[in-house]
Structure 1
Amino acid sequence: MTKFSILIATKNRLNDLKTTLNQLAYFIQNDNIECIICDDGSSDGTSKYLRDNYPNIILIQHQKSKGLIASRNELLNLTKASYAITLDDDAHILSQNPLEIIETFFESNKKCAVIAFRIFWGKNVLQNTEHNLKPQRVKSFVGCGHVWRMAAWKDIPNYPDWFVFYGEEAFASYHLFKKKWEVHYVPNVLVHHRVDIKNRKKEKDYQFRLRRSLRSGWYLYFLFYPWELIPKRFLYTLWIQFKIKVFKGDIKAFLAIIQALSDVSINLSRLFRNSNRLSKQEFLEYSKLPATKLYWNPKDL
């Protein structure tokens, strides 16, 4: 049985993918490591490039895009490995001996379902990778760099593909918590996510991303929060968005909020059908866990 797989979903980002595959060459060339890529309806020649240059990579090709979350579900349900590493097409592993670190941690922590990696976000080459962080249990993980114990993945529902974008990691984390599984942050595995996060607001998809981010957060309230907490949390997040964005003249943010509210309204019946609400005690215990470790910077030393 294959012990490790590397899973990547991609769409129309061939240049980023080429860099990632070059950085992951050691893993791809290892016959004992499975690599599966889902080309989610690319029109830039991604599938042809992979077939011509990486015949040992298992390729899933969607003629029409199904979305990131649906692609990740397909990848995770296809692999036969014990541990499945998920990376974005613009992210690669920097650490030495990451597989040994992962296997050792999983073997020593039988309740650990997902290992969240330390992630550096930035376009520049990272010069200093030193850190003084310790592994710890956390609420959730980041999609661009983590690894699943596949026995845990099979113990919960698939990611909600109707979220389309954002929120699937938190969705899984709530279900894992209900099943007594744990998510752990293991900083000894470092991932470089080659994204300029500060300039995302200036990019064309800013409104799209904000809409998806807001609605996924609200979806999660209705799916998992105790009923009595939902109104206050919902109104608070709405107020904050107006305070820090709309009242400062961010018209795109206003439009994104209206769209996200509409999405929640349309999906209310679906949210009620799929709810798996935490009890008050479970919610209190979950709330006490350290927050998801989204970003790491050498300045954090």
Structure 2
Amino acid sequence: MTALKRVVVSRRALLQGAAVASGYLLTLDAQTSAFATAGGTVPVAPVSADRLTLATTKIFNAEWNQAMLASFPARYRFSPRSDISTVGIEWDERLFSLHGPALGLVGESAHELEITRPSPHAALVSVPAETTDLVLRVEALNTYPAENHTGVRPVSLWLEDQSGQRLEEWTDSPIPADCAAWSIEATVNWISHEGDIVPARASIRSIGPFDAPAGTAVRLSYPDIFDTPPTVVDPAIIEGDDTPLPATVDSRTSEGICELVLTTTEPLRPGGQLELHFEAGASNSTPRPFANHVPRLVLVPPTDQNGMRLSGRHSSFPVSPSGSQLSSYIPAPIA
């Protein structure tokens, strides 16, 4: 029998954290296939969709005109088994990373299971018969800005008995959706003005390869200390040019907090940028601790998000990577 090593972890915490780096969880239809043996073709049962929980990452084709979600099983619930069996899995190492050890669930307990790696993109796990669920510590990788891939290896998972015969299997079959891929990078320069953390400048920039659609917006939330609203600037428009700006700005104030939304009214071409300039000049004080509000910038995408690329620059908070409040600032606009 495979040796089991008991680890202290609750079942609830385990299932909540199975897909450690994925922003998406969904279940897809399983696929039916066959396994060829020396004696002929033996049908292999598909893994039913309700027995898989998948971590996913968004990718595009080489021409940026089709988007799809690639998936990797983060949790695999077994059918009843009477003996030790082996789970095998293959994937594209550009899209996913598998961390060990695997975890097997037996009742309310979780046990570490060793992962054997025959190649950088393959793994085998020996699973005791009493195990009901296998949890894989998979990391879904965001390959931005080069997430238009060719020759993607589909993720494949299978279960085989001690003789090596496959009992069931599943293969990822991403469904492409036509699109025109686009990307937005939103930034904000935070400063401390009389102890309040406020923006000095905020911007959205279209990365492409196609236009960012009209209706793309950013929402800014900050202490309402400014006497005048921010100035909207398109760096491509020369001062004095009467060309109207392709955006609207709406704001409201409640309990001392300003909620401001800049929304594009026309597609924003690749390389195009819109900026909000606030009247505050430079940091001039040590910031006060946050009370009930944390200043923020958050991208508000349009309704159709099919072609939206995940730039990782869709939000900004004046906090450190560990989540604590920043304690020092340098003069705007490079804070």
TM-score higher than 0.5:
no
Higher helix proportion: 1
Name the structure, 1 or 2, with higher relative contact order (CA <8 Å, separation 6+): 1
Q: TM-score range by the shorter chain?
A: under 0.3
Higher strand proportion: 2
Compare CA radii of gyration and give the structure with the larger one. 2
